[in-house]
Each structure stands twice: as C-alpha cells, then as structure tokens.
Structure 1
Amino acid sequence: MPLHVPPAPAPALRSVLTALGSPTAVREARTPSLVRAQGPATPELPLPVHVLDQIGPAGAPVTRLAGWRFLIRCGDRAVAAAETMLTPDGWAFSHFFEGPYIASTERALRQAETVQQSYQPRLLSVPGLYMLTLWLHGDTTADAATGHPAATDLLVPLAPAPPGIAAHSPHQVADLLPVLTLRVTPAPLLSA
C-alpha cells in the first residue's frame, strides 16, 4: 500500500529551499556530501518529527512536534537531510545534517511501502535512548502535527538502534512501548 506522506507546512518547505539556494548555508553545514553534490538538490519526503517526552501515568506516550525533516536528494539518492523548527515567527530552517539515519530512513520507508495497510509516516525521537524510529500512524487523514502513537501504530527503529532493539524490525506501539519505558525509567536507588 502506498504511504500517505503528509504535506509539510509551506513556510517550512520555503525555508529549506531558501537554505539550499544559499551557498553560505550549504558551505557552512557539516555535510560534506551536500557540499560535493553534483546537480540540483531537492527536498523530498517531508516527515514530521515528534519527540517522546514521557510515558504518561496510564502508559500513554506523551509526544510533541519538534520540527519537519526533509531528505535532500541529489540525483538518485538522498545525500543529507534538512530540519526545520517552529519559532515564534513561524517555521524556520534549522540545519542540514548527514549520517546513518539518512539511509536508514530511506530503507524503512521502502519497507513500509510493502506493508498491506496504508500508513502516514512520521518520525518519533526517543531522546532518553538516543533512538529514532519511523512511526507509521494508522490514521492517514490525521493532522501530522498532532496526535500520539496509537497502540496499533507501528514503530520501526532506525539504525543505529540501541542495544537489544533490532533496527528495521517493525513493532506495534503496544509491544515496543513497554520496552522503551523500562529503558528510559531510571532504576530505583537501593537503600543501605
């Protein structure tokens, strides 16, 4: 089934296009592959980036929208990504970056396109574990900037994943969330 990629806010896309058109922004970025890229660079596959702030008292994940991420494609491959953030003045370009999450995101999206059910792709960051997942949200008509992972949504950990969590293996939120909760929750102090 096809993925229903949500449209990014127009100001977020404009800010990335402006940054891509700025030789200074591209040159000052720590992205050698973007600097060396031959041909036009285009932002594609906008994905909202949500952050898992905590696990609520009923075990429900508490998330917030942190920005939009665009894969930057030159020719037939993504060479970098651009991140935007919400400021008091609206959406603004934040930074370019590269690294293993670029190829891992592309791989996870290709895998997700082979699943029978339709999903809305998002990214879910778990800062306490230095973990990023592709979040496949079952409500394809939902506002991509809002909402929380539903129990039946899928999370696909991106590589590199934390030890003991297999990258690129899809898990229902109801199955993976307890594992993440145990990992993020600090161990109680033992009294003497």
Structure 2
Amino acid sequence: MVRDKKFYWKLFLSTFYLSAFTFGGGYVIVPLMRKKFVNEYKWIEEEEMIDLIAIAQSSPGAIAINSSIIIGYELAGPVGAGITLLGTVLPPLIIVSIISLFYIAFRDNLIVNGAMKGMQAGVAAIIVDVVFNLIGDIRKLNDKFSTYLMVGVFIATFFINIIAIILICGVLGVAYKYYERKRG
C-alpha cells in the first residue's frame, strides 16, 4: 500500500518520538503506541491494536521493535514496517552511543544512579497500568476463555517454565479457535 511522503514522515516521527522519550522497554511503549495510533491518529481500531500487540508479544525479540514493525506493516506495508523499525531503533542507538562515550563518568555518578532508581519505580507503575488496561480490554470483549487463560497464565508463571506456558497457550489458542469455527 502506497502512502504519501507526509504520512511516512509522520509515521517515522511518531515512532522516533515514542522511542526517544520512553524509558523502560516494550511494555512501556505499547500503551503509548496505542494512545498515539488508536486514540490520537485513529489509524488503527482498538480491537485490531490488541491483536497486533498480541502477535508482537508472541514473536521472538524485543516487544517495542516487534510492535513497531507490525503496526508499520499494518499501516503501510513493508515500507511502513521499515520506517517504524528505523524510527524505533534509532533513538536508543544514538543514546547508547553517546552514553558509551561517557560510561565511566556515568557509572560512578550518584545523581545518575539515583535517577535510574527513580525511573525503575516509574517503569513498574507503568507496567501495572498496562496490565490493568489489558484486563479492561479483555473484559470488554466478554471472552471468558481469554479471561480464564490470562488468570491461569499469571498463576502458572510462578510454577511453570515460561517456554512451557507459551507452548500450552499456543495449543489452547489453536484448539479454542478450531472449536469456535466448528461451533459457529
């Protein structure tokens, strides 16, 4: 799908901005992507965004990068995926390159260490917010299977290896969709 240069530029700047000013990884950037692309630009529907993020989470790799690639592809095909990938990867690459030049000065600085500890608390709060938003989104879908699966996975993470959980969820998801098709 071909879009005009303004659209591509806006897509790049959006992902660049989100990536540059988000601290804490993928689970922090995901709700901001949702806010930008669903609520502000209205380029993606809410339910479609949930599906795209679910695909990004189930794919190997960093969720921020996976999410941006999938969203970019959904909005503008392979070119959009490349643009959003570049917009998401460039800010951390630039920041890490600059920090590496001054690593020794940063490593021993008490103010920088204190700021990092404060950011960890903020990231934890944002992750909790994401969890509650996802719970709300799943409840809106009124899908009991997804609700029970989410609760079961949360409990299982304390007892079972995460790889086993992913495999079990994959099998359950395929079985559920097969059952839904046969039923409907």
Fold match (TM-score > 0.5):
no
What TM-score does the superposition give when structure 1 sets the normalisation length? 0.26
Bigger-Rg structure (1/2): 2
What TM-score does the superposition give when structure 2 sets the normalisation length? 0.27
Which protein is richer in strand relative to its size? 1
